[in-house]
A = this chain, B = another copy of it.
């Protein structure tokens, strides 16, 4: 996969176990409009703190990413290491240090192995032009079981453009491993201010609508670069093709987000939790997230148990406004609850059939207003416990 005006590279720098790509680079041949969304965790990794400053500029040239070490909880040394990493890449590219971003994912609390980073950067730079976005998607994996890449093509003012995105790992997957990372590149010309708006909105509906274990990492980062190499008339609010661009971008983001859930640790189910009829959209998201994060609900999904009482209880403690005797609950199209009580009939048997599927939906209608939200989650299985209980090795 290649996108006009972008170059990619990925190498083995021995940060992870031998034989695995762990250092990658995305470069735009010209300054690209950039927008980003970062973790809301108050404990933030050095690369997040650094990128947060640098994406304020609105343009950037490159993103260097390592896996195997999150450079989180590493103090002033961690910030020095993040800066040095970007400086070495900037010097190699002949661009300003402030135009280079850095992301890290992996072990928390252990300094970046800078000797390996320093040794890896020259071959990384040499590889530019020969690598693909697929290589980068592989290099950012930690415990992901497959690389996650999604592409859409569109037209603006008669000119074709491409949007391609990659992502890795939901939540804090492995013992001491942190980070969801997502990088989107497009050759479309996009107004930087408008890009920030539509990207933030898209992330809210995709990466901010998934949960595997409810643990917000110290490194979560989603960045989009738009370099205009396609040559289309600049996209911005209301311009020709703007709505299409937003739709295609949203598709890329949502597809990547869903792939992350499907590759969640120990996941055997992919579940869409849709809450509607809430007083507000925020209330709907609160309720949906409480359901998606409930250990009891998630173990019931794993056990294929149509246990609507747990879902109802989670909605009840979510903080959302609820009038229990108005609420309805469905598993796919099977109504389990009507006016707050069990719907009766064959609901139990039919609901259980739904839960046996690998993918299904839970729909809660609160009948209080127009607020709605959809989130995506996995179940909580023996393997989740196994993966996360194992000693760090």
Alpha-carbon separation in the docked complex, A108 to B316 (Å): 13
Alpha-carbon separation in the docked complex, A384 to B384 (Å): 12
Of B178, B295, B300, B313, the contact of A313 (CB 8 Å cutoff):
B178
Known contacts A108-B309, A299-B384, A385-B302; decide if A341 and B40 are in contact (CB<8 Å): no
Q: Enumerate chain B residues within 8 angstroms of A284, measured Cβ to Cβ.
A: none
* Consensus secondary structure, chain A interface: loop
A198 to chain B, nearest CB (A): 26
Q: Enumerate chain B residues within 8 angstroms of A215, measured Cβ to Cβ.
A: 294-296, 310, 313-314, 317
Q: Is the CB of B109 within 8 A of A176?
A: no
Q: Is the CB of B302 within 8 A of A389?
A: yes
A178 to chain B, nearest CB (A): 7
Q: Enumerate chain B residues within 8 angstroms of A107, measured Cβ to Cβ.
A: 309
Q: Enumerate chain B residues within 8 angstroms of A325, measured Cβ to Cβ.
A: 75
Whether A260 is near chain B, meaning CB under 8 Å from some CB there, is no
Whether A267 is near chain B, meaning CB under 8 Å from some CB there, is no
Alpha-carbon separation in the docked complex, A289 to B391 (Å): 24
Q: Is the CB of A178 within 8 A of B42?
A: no
Whether A37 is near chain B, meaning CB under 8 Å from some CB there, is no
Q: Enumerate chain B residues within 8 angstroms of A58, measured Cβ to Cβ.
A: none
**A311-352, CB under 8 A of B: which get 1 and which 0?**
011111100111011000000000001011110000000000
Alpha-carbon separation in the docked complex, A295 to B341 (Å): 31
Q: Is the CB of A341 within 8 A of B43?
A: no
Q: Is the CB of A176 within 8 A of B317?
A: no
Q: Enumerate chain B residues within 8 angstroms of A380, measured Cβ to Cβ.
A: 295, 385
Q: Enumerate chain B residues within 8 angstroms of A272, measured Cβ to Cβ.
A: none
Known contacts A213-B296, A341-B109; decide if A322 and B175 are in contact (CB<8 Å): no
Q: Is the CB of A73 within 8 A of B176?
A: no
Q: Enumerate chain B residues within 8 angstroms of A271, measured Cβ to Cβ.
A: none
Whether A217 is near chain B, meaning CB under 8 Å from some CB there, is yes
Instruction: List 8 A-B pairs, Cβ < 8 Å.
Output: A108-B309, A108-B310, A108-B313, A171-B296, A214-B295, A218-B309, A218-B316, A299-B388
